[in-house]
Chains A and B, each alone.
Chain A
Amino acid sequence: MYLSEDFRLKVGLAEMLKGGVIMDVTNVAQAKIAEKAGAAAVMALERVPADIRKEGGVARMASIRVIREIMEAVSIPVMAKARIGHFMEARVLEALGVDYIDESEVLTPADEEHHIDKRESKVPFVCGARNLGEALRRIAEGAAMIRTKGEAGSGNIVEAVRHMRTIIKEMKQLTVLGKEELVHEAKNLGAPLELVEWVAANGKLPVPNFSAGGIATPADAALVMQLGAEAVFVGSGIFKSEDPDTRARAIVKAATYFNDPVKLLEASEELGEAMRGLDVSKLPESELLQTRGW
């Protein structure tokens, strides 16, 4: 499967997004601001995660009309979210022709046991993960891009950092294990041996590894890039801030110059207020988005 032409094309688009910023947008006006600011792609959704968190209720795939309008309004790739396990939302998005589908914990899960079988879809999928086992299970199901889950809508980078560090550390550990130990690790990780062996041999995921969930400042974006993220998703962090346009440009610059503190300093000046953040450790378990899916 990993060498099939379909899968290579799916991963290929993820390759093109590296070093970029994928921005959550809820309407055409926001999509145009994002594109003008240098977003590598936009993610069309009904409400940004911070609003979903605040307003509650069932969060579903965005309105088709809005997604279509956004697809017509911008020339960059357009992604859209489907609920975990909701393979019919995914098929609708595939028929619509979006460029990437995010099977996302930010929306209310439709199936608490099963994720979508993503292998048959012509449209590539991205999925969230907190650790290596979760990442490899999603890849086994056909995901062509992994992102950390972080804690969406929190404006707090701590969970994205935890998840990226966990995935990177677990991959490093595999590289020093012997063949029989990898079989045991595959069992511990709950992941196919074939993928565990691939990671052990290459020290990285077989698909691009991005970060999401809590990025609110240019320095946040640079931090996760330093930890190993190859691109970043920004959800509420842009359009819940005081000056979305300036902040969007600044985070784009930070994703490129994450290793250049002088450029980061330039990007961090005169940004206006960031979104208000949440102390994730004080959130009750039932309000965490990252525990959705497995």
Chain B
Amino acid sequence: MKTVGVLALQGDFDAHRKAVERAGARAIEVRTAADLSQCDGLILPGGESTTILKLLEDEKLLEPLRNFGQEKPIYGTCAGAILLAREVTHPVQPSLSLMDIVVERNAYGRQIDSRIARVPVNGQDELEAVFIRAPIIRRVGGEVRVLARYHGDPVWVEQGRHMVTTFHPELTDDPRIHRHFVDKL
């Protein structure tokens, strides 16, 4: 059985742990560089990207994460998508730069603009997408494949081994997206 690490510095890592288990893999919480050695892949959960980034900097985890991403798959949701991006705006902040995407933070607005939408995948199956103070992917590079869009904006994309969603499949019972990630390991 594959082991998926869930970065557990701050955010909804517990919901991801359960979602990974529903997708048929083992989940462990990752708080130190040493924890990464046990993982076949890593999830960067939702949460506050400024908080997670601050802890990554203070605990000197940015380099270990970048190195991990050179070899193994990483999946970022919402704040995790912001961390994986090449460029972050609104406001500008540093990131891991593992995916060729430009992400605008809090792009739908505040909590009152949070929403649950049904987005088509592969032009057929619908997926329930929970957006919470979500970012918008404003630009994608040539190697990035868009798997789902909402109002024309990419909301689920992958590039090589990595992928992001700007919404939270871990807050639904639908295991498809986590299964898709586990299949990449």
Indicate whether B70 reaches chain A with its CB closer than 8 angstroms. Answer: no
* Chain B residues, CB < 8 A from A257: 31
Question: Chain B 129-171, CB within 8 Å of chain A: the 1/0 string?
Answer: 0101100000000000000000000000000000000001001
Number of interface residues of A (CB under 8 A): 37
Q: Is the CB of A8 within 8 A of B11?
A: no
Chain B residue numbers with a CB within 8 Å of A18 are 10-14, 47
Whether A100 is near chain B, meaning CB under 8 Å from some CB there, is yes
Cβ of B48 and Cβ of A13 under 8 Å apart? no
Inter-chain contact B90/A40, CB cutoff 8 Å: no
A13 & B114 in contact (Cβ 8 Å cutoff)? yes
CB distance from B76 to the nearest CB of A (A): 14
Among A1-35, those with CB < 8 Å from B are 5, 8-9, 12-13, 15-20, 35
- Asked if A38 and B116 sit within 8 Å, CB to CB, the answer is no
Known: A97-B112, A260-B31. A20 touches B50 (CB 8 A): no
Indicate the member of A5, A17, A39, A256 with the most B CB atoms within 10 Å. A256
- Chain B residues lying within 8 Å of A75, measured Cβ to Cβ, are 50, 90-91, 105-106
Using CB atoms, name the residue of chain A closest to B93.
Answer: A75
The answer to whether A12 and B130 touch across the interface, beta carbons within 8 angstroms, is yes
Residues of B within 8 A of A17 (CB): 47-48
A123 at the binding interface (Cβ < 8 Å)? yes
Of B50, B116, B132, the residue contacting A35 (CB under 8 A) is: B50
A255 contacts B by Cβ under 8 Å: yes
Determine whether the beta carbon of B168 is less than 8 Å from that of A40.
Answer: no
Q: How far is B129's CA from A9's CA once the two chains are assembled, in angstroms?
A: 11
Complex formed: what's the CA distance from A16 to B54 in Å? 16
CA distance A13 to B31 in the complex (A): 22
- Whether B46 pairs with A15 at a CB distance below 8 angstroms is yes
**Is A220 part of the binding interface, using a Cβ–Cβ cutoff of 8 Å?**
no
Known: A9-B115, A100-B111, A122-B112. A19 touches B106 (CB 8 A): no
A5 to B171, CA, bound (A): 11
Task: Determine if A214 is an interface residue (Cβ-Cβ < 8 Å).
Answer: no
The answer to whether the Cβ of A76 comes within 8 Å of any Cβ in the partner chain is: yes
15 contacts between A and B (CB under 8 A): A8-B171, A9-B130, A12-B168, A12-B171, A18-B10, A19-B9, A19-B10, A20-B51, A36-B54, A71-B110, A76-B48, A77-B111, A98-B110, A249-B58, A256-B55
Q: 7 other contacts beyond A18-B12, A35-B50, A260-B31, with CB at 8 A cut-off? A: A12-B171, A16-B11, A38-B50, A75-B106, A99-B110, A123-B111, A256-B55
